[in-house]
Amino acid sequence: MQSWLRVTAWPVVAGILAALLVLEHWVLPAGPEESTPRDPQSFAAAVQSATPAVVNIYTSKVVPTRAGRLLKDPFWGQFVPRNQPRQRLEQSLGSGVIFSADGHVVTNNHVIDGADEIQVLLSDGRNAAARIIGTDRPTDLALLKIDLPDLTPIPLGTSADARVGDVVLAIGNPLGFGQSVTQGIISGLERYGLQPGLYESYIQTDAIIHQGNSGGALVDTEGRLVGINTLIYTSEQQTSGSAVGIGIGLAIPVDLTRFVVSDLIEYGQVIRGWLGVQVEPRLARGGDGPTGQALVVTAVAEGGPAQKAGLQPGDVITHFNGEAVEDVRRSMYDIALLRPGESLRITAIRGRQTVDLRAVVGAQTQSPDRQGS
């Protein structure tokens, strides 16, 4: 009997112990001291990845000043030495992004425009004087160069994959406070027509952007560059007359930034495709109603690619490379991204006939026109 009890008791005891372990670890609620609180969602890893490549930019330039009323007075003016230069030092701030390990830094053209001296301050406390490699006013981008070792370029994403609703982080030097981070979402894509005469395809975000953020980084939740923060839209407070942000920030897409940087490094300027045509928008209609825009040719440059292809004033362009024209700005933007020598198929309506033409893209040598390329 005792032998039988020993044989059968051990499995029972083992089963009871296993059940207690199950109850303790999976069924019974843990006590307060044993609970493991979950960490809230954090973007610290993305910030840690991107911030070493975001820099503060300080510029200074000497500007002439107007003579005061007293200095213009015949009596008081005699106490001022003749031919004394009247100048003052104007300083401004902005942000930039380290694009390559050998010291290329991208920022906005308006941040460094007219500067006599440019200083770049890194997140690790180092600073260096910067020289300008090239600027591109139509996209408001500028490329600088600093000579420092052990630079960390920013990881590059692609704006082609950006979606409305994606979480983004804006990193820069707002109001001179030093490197700061704000968080928001992508509110819109391909924003055009905000600045006449410029090539635009802005990313819109509601991440808070202030003066000084210009040229800084807009990154995704993995710390990859999505865009270069450029503009903020403001409204005038009726009570104080001061400009206040209204949650609309604009950034230059990283894919366009890559294009501009590559040309500035290789050629010292941006080489854009040119068709040699002036156009006006017209609503294109299909059988069931409006289908988009078409481009009415108003002028063709003498000897330009469009004229050589056979395009004539009065033609109505409906397609480029088989893609329907949906927006005048977008079409001109796409043509500008083509390389000289590339072939461009043009579908147009002439009278009651459809004509298919082929143009060889030329190189643009003038500033962009609002409705021409």
Number of other residues whose CB lies within 10 A of the CB of residue 199: 22
**Contact present, 348 and 311 (Cβ < 8 Å):** yes
214 is catalytic: yes
Residues paired with 350 in a beta bridge? 353
Q: Which of 110, 136, 201, 220 is catalytic?
A: 110
**Contact present, 182 and 207 (Cβ < 8 Å):** yes
Q: Is the dihedral of CA 109, 110, 114, 120 positive or negative?
A: negative
Report the first-to-last Cα separation within the chain, whole angstroms.
Answer: 103
110 is catalytic: yes
**Contact present, 252 and 231 (Cβ < 8 Å):** no
Report d(CA 172, CA 230) in Å as an integer. 11
Q: Which of 95, 104, 136, 140 is catalytic?
A: 140
Q: Which of 180, 214, 331, 373 is catalytic?
A: 214
**Contact present, 32 and 88 (Cβ < 8 Å):** no
210 is catalytic: no
Collapsed DSSP state (helix, strand, coil) of residue 333: helix
CA angle (44, 45, 46) in 5-degree steps: 90
Report d(CA 372, CA 338) in Å as an integer. 15
Report d(CA 344, CA 320) in Å as an integer. 7
DSSP 372: B
**Contact present, 13 and 141 (Cβ < 8 Å):** no
**Contact present, 55 and 97 (Cβ < 8 Å):** yes
| Share in percent of the chain as helix, strand, coil (round to 5) | 25, 40, 40
**350, two tokens:** 């002439």
Annotated catalytic residues are 110, 140, 214
